[in-house]
Structure formats: C-alpha cells, structure tokens
Amino acid sequence: MRQRNKRRNQAGVTLIEMLVVVTIIAMFAGLAAYRLWPHVDTARITRARADISTLMGALEMYRLKQGTFPATEQGLAAVRPFLKAEVPLDPWGRAYEYKYPGSQGEDPEIICYGADGRAGGEGINADIVSWKSQ
C-alpha cells in the first residue's frame, strides 16, 4: 500500500513546473513577436503592390476581351472572372480604389491609401498607386 501511494505522488507534473514551462514559452513568443513586428508593415506594403500588379494584369485581360477597360462605376468587380479568387481587399481591410481614365493619363489606376486610409501621407500611411507599382 505504501509503494502505491509513493508512485502516485511521483506521477504527473506539479503546478509550479507547468507555470515555469508556460512562462518560458511565453518569453520566447514575446521575443519572437518583438523582433518580427517591424516587418509587418513592410509586408503589408509589399502585398498591396503585389495585389495592384495582379489587378492591373486582370484589367489588361479585360481590355483584351472587351476592347476597353471597365468604367470607374463598374469598378474592380468587372475583372473578377480573370482572377483565381475574389477581388482582394487591401492589407488594411479596405477596398482598392479604381479609376478609369486615371489621373495620370489614359491608363486605369488603382490606389491603396495605406494604413490611415486617406490620400497622401508618409511611411506606412503613404499611398500605393498602380502607376508607381509596375
């Protein structure tokens, strides 16, 4: 009987041991997040440029099939048949702005207003535009 009680006391992990392990894991996760956080904004800007490039390709396919680019009123929804998935939102969760004809000439333009969602800005708030992304 005494051996059974002794085995029972030695089995498992104590609460203190669990807390130490969880604390160590949390410290490593915090360190990793701290080191990776500055790259999140750069990745969002890169994704916006890639999305704009993909949408410009879909617009070109639309033009080849229809003879002209979709009107501003039609928006980017008109190019959905030329994409593998739905028309993406920008990395901050807002719709890309589409204009045709664009302000830079006869080509269409796609604009992502950056993190703040407003025209202009610097850094992560800077506009990402199709005529500079190509």
pLDDT digits (tens, 9 = 90+) for 61-92: 999 999 999 999 999 999 999 999 999 999 99
**Separation between Cα atoms, residue 59 and residue 63, nearest integer Å:** 6
CATH no. for 40-133: 3.30.700.10
Query: Do residues 72 and 100 touch, judged by C-beta distance below 8 A?
Result: yes
What would the pLDDT profile of 15-36 be if each residue is shown by its tens digit? 898 999 999 999 999 888 888 7
For the chain, the domains span 2-36, 40-133
Residues 6+ positions from 104 with CB-CB distance below 8 Å: 131
